[in-house]
Structure 1
Amino acid sequence: MPAGTEQRVWFGSGLVPSIQRAALLPLSALYSAGWLGYRAVYSLGLKRAEQPHHPIVCVGNLVVGGSGKSPVALHLADLLRGLGRRVVVSCSGYGSPRQESASWAPDGPLDPGEWGDEPAMLRWLRPDLELVVGRDRVAAARLCALHASDAVLVLDDGFQHLRLAKDVSILLDDPSPPNRFCLPAGPYREPRSSRRLADLVLPGRFRVEQGPLSFLDPIAGAPTDAPEEAVLLCALGRPDRFERSLAEAGVRLSRLVVRTDHDPLLAGNLLEGVPPGATVVTSAKDWVKIRRRSDLDRFRWVVALLHPSIEPADDFRRWLADRIDEVEAEQDRHATG
């Protein structure tokens, strides 16, 4: 489907979207049956998942598009490092040459054209965070075992990667989604019954809360105030959520320049008609691509930073620490048994 069409089909109201969804339901039923069959291959032991590293914590979801996995994965990494743990984050590197197989990311800034926008964003936000990039999560776990055997491996996405066994699976899923169907009639990558396979579903016992946005002048590398008025430039899975967060922060958006998720944002006419000196607000994921543009000096740039937390914070921190301790104790028993 052309960009944006699927959103109208999945979530649109009125007669036409309803007819389109109904027409796609037989294909969704086939897709669901195929996915359940795929899971059964592993649950029945016909294939065995591999796990070359422990502990592995997965932050996943069930739908296509943005659900906030990367900010939550980064929050988990911060929590674990606060507990004295070494952490490696595994990202898919979607759309980049590094997405095939898996590669250990070098130190320093990452080029989003080579490594993907999400790995580049994580490295920009946390310069000392170790990353392994690529869709082959088994290969990523092997690299983690080789380079950082004492680390907790946090998967940014990967719940559907059944070849790799995980120690802790945390699933982000709306408790009351407007469309519960699997592809193509709905946004679900697998049936919602898979929720029961996760160790923790958010929201549920715990919940993700978004703190107030903070704002950064990325050229100066310094905090700044929220702009009163700005042009929005972004390429996100759910730009509507970002727009709402900016509105709640008091930013009036004079113009929206929105591209499909993971767009490189390098087109020369992207900001055509935006007057020189105008303030352009964007996300961290988008800034790591925008910073390569040749017209940076024409505008004032502001990056809006998200600050998610999992609440109640102290209870969740204890839950996470206990789960990691249990995994390591089990590994010690196997090693000595």
Structure 2
Amino acid sequence: MSGLEAAWYRGAAWLWLLRPIEFLFRLLAAVRRGAYGRGLIRAYRSERPVVIVGNITVGGTGKTPVVIALVEALKERGLRPGVISRGYGATAHIATFPHRVSAASDAADCGDEPLLIQRRTGVPVVVSPRRAEAAKILLASGDVDVVLSDDGLQHYALARDLEIVVIDGQRGLGNGFCLPAGPLREPASRLRSVDRVIYRGGDKPDASVTYLPECWINVRTGEARPLDAFAETRDAVAIAGIGQPGQFFATLDGLSISAERRTFPDHHAYTQVDFTGLENRTILMTEKDAVKCASLAEPGVGEDAWYLRIDAVLPSSLIERVVEIAQR
């Protein structure tokens, strides 16, 4: 967690000095949203329903596993979902948008989360900073019944039929201020206009999402091992380049896994240098990290590198609502 982010969540007094800038941020956000809401700026209306899975805070809240869970639920009902994304983590001077993601794509081309979604679910995924453009490309194939947007709550250029917001139940909304004085992308009052709010680690079954570790998967070979496979390992290294690495490490603690911990920035582009000296050690990582490390999985590193597969469990009422929207 960066120093500024830590200040947001501990309520540092000096952040009040940023309130004038925050006021300007709020004003601009309100003007922009109002312009789209009143039709002064025209939003693209997809021919198929659009479901947004987003948040109002900066940083990871666990949206991508929610998108994956919704994709799987829709597929089980015989529907054909597709996913669009901004493509955070794509390398600016390499990536070309829009990018239709395939299993052979590289995270540098499309971002780590879209690549994770495509490899995990096999559904069509298109990435572009202009999500309306991504939606058009996605629908051009004719194989999509409903568009799921991984993030994009504030991307009003794309009209939506359902808005789902994911909030970290522990961190909440921080100090309640908008950027840069706090973590909010929009004022907390925005939550009153969305369709559903679900909390990571919440205590209300109909408004909570639970993340359940399933098994360990070898980064190189795809071999699966049970959750307790590394409980007795004494020379493991756990790496995490995600928004909240502490959550991954806490999961390891819950699995009685003792490992050296190394953190990297969110969407970190791994290189062999990051694994120097780890050739003969067990490496444990998140699935989001693994999609960027598969190409680095060479003998001595990849043979004993594993990622934790995690599934999101959603309220049944939320799934039914998304299915209802998709069947329109």
Q: Which amino acid aligns with 1:31?
A: F
2:318 equivalent to 1:316: yes
Could you say if the C-alpha distance between residues 188 and 267 of structure 1 is closer, same or farther in structure 2, counting changes exceeding 3 Å?
A: farther
Once the two structures are superposed, the pairs formed by residues 137-152 of structure 1 within 5 Å of their partners are 137-148=131-142, 150-152=144-146
Q: Which amino acid aligns with 1:24?
A: L
Q: In structure 2, what is the Cα distance between the partners aligned to 1:244 and 1:92? A: 29
Q: In structure 2, what is the Cα distance between the partners aligned to 1:134 and 1:53? A: 19
Give 1:335's aligned residue. Answer: none
Of 119, 128, 142 in structure 2, the residue corresponding to residue 124 of structure 1 is 119
Task: Provide the alpha-carbon RMSD of the alignment.
Answer: 2.2
Once the two structures are superposed, the pairs formed by residues 218-297 of structure 1 within 5 Å of their partners are 218-225=219-226, 226=228, 227-228=230-231, 229=233, 230-253=236-259, 255-266=260-271, 268=273, 270-274=274-278, 276-293=279-296, 295-297=298-300
2:75 equivalent to 1:63: no
Could you say if the C-alpha distance between residues 142 and 288 of structure 1 is closer, same or farther in structure 2, counting changes exceeding 3 Å?
A: same
Of 181, 184, 194 in structure 1, the residue corresponding to residue 177 of structure 2 is 181
Deviates more, 1:142-151 or 1:69-78: 142-151
Q: What runs of 5+ residues in structure 1 fail to find an aligned partner?
A: 329-337
2:34 equivalent to 1:40: yes
Query: Is 1:213–1:249's contact at 8 Å kept on the other side of the alignment?
Result: no
Give 1:104's aligned residue. Answer: 100
Q: What's the CA shift string for 1:212-255, capped at 9, x where partnerless?
A: 342112323121133124211121011111111121122112x1
Secondary structure of 1:290's aligned partner: helix
**TM-score, with length taken from structure 2:** 0.88
CA displacement at 1:99 relative to structure 2: 6.2
Q: What's the CA shift string for 1:285-314, capped at 9, x where partnerless?
A: 111111222655246111111111112x3x
Q: In structure 1, what is the Cα distance between the partners aligned to 2:213 and 2:126? A: 30
Give 2:66's aligned residue. Answer: 72
Give 1:6's aligned residue. Answer: 4
Q: What runs of 5+ residues in structure 2 fail to find an aligned partner?
A: none
Query: Is 1:53–1:144's contact at 8 Å kept on the other side of the alignment?
Result: no
Give 1:333's aligned residue. Answer: none
Could you say if the C-alpha distance between residues 296 and 162 of structure 1 is closer, same or farther in structure 2, counting changes exceeding 3 Å?
A: farther
Query: Is 1:93–1:134's contact at 8 Å kept on the other side of the alignment?
Result: yes
Q: In structure 2, what is the Cα distance between the partners aligned to 1:180 and 1:83? A: 39
Give 1:113's aligned residue. Answer: 108
Q: Which amino acid aligns with 1:280?
A: I
Give 2:213's aligned residue. Answer: 212
CA displacement at 1:114 relative to structure 2: 1.5
Secondary structure of 1:53's aligned partner: coil
Query: Is 2:96–2:109's contact at 8 Å kept on the other side of the alignment?
Result: no
**TM-score, with length taken from structure 1:** 0.86
Could you say if the C-alpha distance between residues 223 and 250 of structure 1 is closer, same or farther in structure 2, counting changes exceeding 3 Å?
A: same
Number of residue pairs the alignment of both structures matches: 313
Secondary structure of 1:212's aligned partner: strand
Could you say if the C-alpha distance between residues 100 and 221 of structure 1 is closer, same or farther in structure 2, counting changes exceeding 3 Å?
A: closer
Secondary structure of 2:87's aligned partner: coil
Query: Is 2:165–2:194's contact at 8 Å kept on the other side of the alignment?
Result: yes
